[in-house]
Amino acid sequence: MIPIQHSIVIQRPRDEVFNFVINFENDRHWWKPVIRTEKLTPGDMRVGSEFRQETKVLGVLTVYNHLKVTEYAPFDYVRYHTESAQLPFDLLYSFTPTGDATTFTLEAELSPKGILRVVLPILMWSLNRELKTYFSLLKSYLEGLPHDASISPIA
């Protein structure tokens, strides 16, 4: 397992940041390698919720992921496991109040396989660069919304 972590402070209330980020269908607004996300289970987000996601890794390799929520504590954190032939991983998103803002943190443990294992130094360099870029996009996107905007959780 290869660990990776990144945090950013977003000038929005914790519930708004949480509701936006845990709606994985919103990933396309800020995590640009995501091509599409589809919720597979009906109802509200909960332990056991499942998603299918298609992403680009290193800009060229299409990776198909199956995400399953393994822990869920509204407004505090969500943990999920992703099955993938190329890049399975466990990921924790946590949300910490920081005054009027929210510290959003991603912690992941990656298990690259096949060609991604071979190009691991390039993969890690790319992922660290993407985390900085895409977390900045998330911050800009959420901070740019009007404060009376409705940021609702996934239905």
Q: What is the pLDDT of residues 111-140, one digit of tens each?
A: 777 777 777 777 778 778 888 999 999 999
Tokens for 120?
Answer: 């691991």
Residue 22 in contact with residue 14, Cβ under 8 Å?
A: no
Tokens for 51?
Answer: 């998603």
How far is it, in rounded angstroms, from Cα 83 to Cα 133?
25
Enter the DSSP assignment of 85.
S
CA-based Rg of the chain, rounded to a whole angstrom? 15
pTM to 2 decimal places: 0.84
Instruction: With a cut of 50, say whether residue 150 has pLDDT above it.
Output: yes
Residue 93 in contact with residue 105, Cβ under 8 Å?
A: yes
More confident of the two residues 140 and 149: 140
Return the pLDDT at 6. 94
What's the pLDDT tens digit per position in 25-70?
888 888 888 888 999 999 999 999 999 998 877 667 788 889 999 9
Scanning 8-76, the segments in alpha helix (DSSP H) are 14-21, 27-30
Question: Right CATH number for 2-144 from 3.30.950.10, 1.10.340.30, 3.20.20.70, 3.30.530.20?
Answer: 3.30.530.20
